[in-house]
Amino acid sequence: MKLKDSSKFFNALADETRLRILSLLAGRELCVCDIMGILKEPQSKVSRHLATMRRAGLVEAERKGLWMHYRLLRPRERSFRLVLEALSRASAEFPELEKDAKEYRKKKRCLPFCTTAS
């Protein structure tokens, strides 16, 4: 592992919005519009954060029709996997992440938002 890779990884975790997105993507794939709806953030902001996470190797994207869908990647480096596991276990301690999870569960019936918009 190169130090540069570690820097990208930890930089990607050093933002509240990116941590919220990581938490939402745990165990599921979501469209950008789904993430926008849950976080109540504009497309430009969500896409910018997802791009940072993609460059850091945290997420991967797949185009499905007009929409980009994102899912978490399993890091090759054991130390990175351990950091993500610790974040996942600690998510219940962060009210913002719990609020996002509640919003996801509430809107789950109508997700993905992008299918209703097309």
In a domain? residue 37: yes
Q: How many domains are contained in the chain?
A: 1
Query: Domain of 70?
Result: 3-107
The verdict on residue 10 lying in a domain is: yes
Contact residues for 71 (Cβ-Cβ < 8 A; gap 6+):
25, 28, 29, 30, 59, 60, 62
Look at residue 116 and tell me if it is in a domain: no
Q: What tens digit of pLDDT does each residue of 18-36 get?
A: 999 999 999 899 999 899 9
Beta carbons within 10 angstroms of residue 89's beta carbon: 9
Does some domain include residue 75?
yes
Residue range 70-88, pLDDT digits in tens: 999 998 889 999 999 998 8
Residue 112 forms part of a structural domain: no
Query: Could you tell me the CATH number of the domain that includes residue 15?
Result: 1.10.10.10
Residue 118: pLDDT band (50, 70, 90) is very low
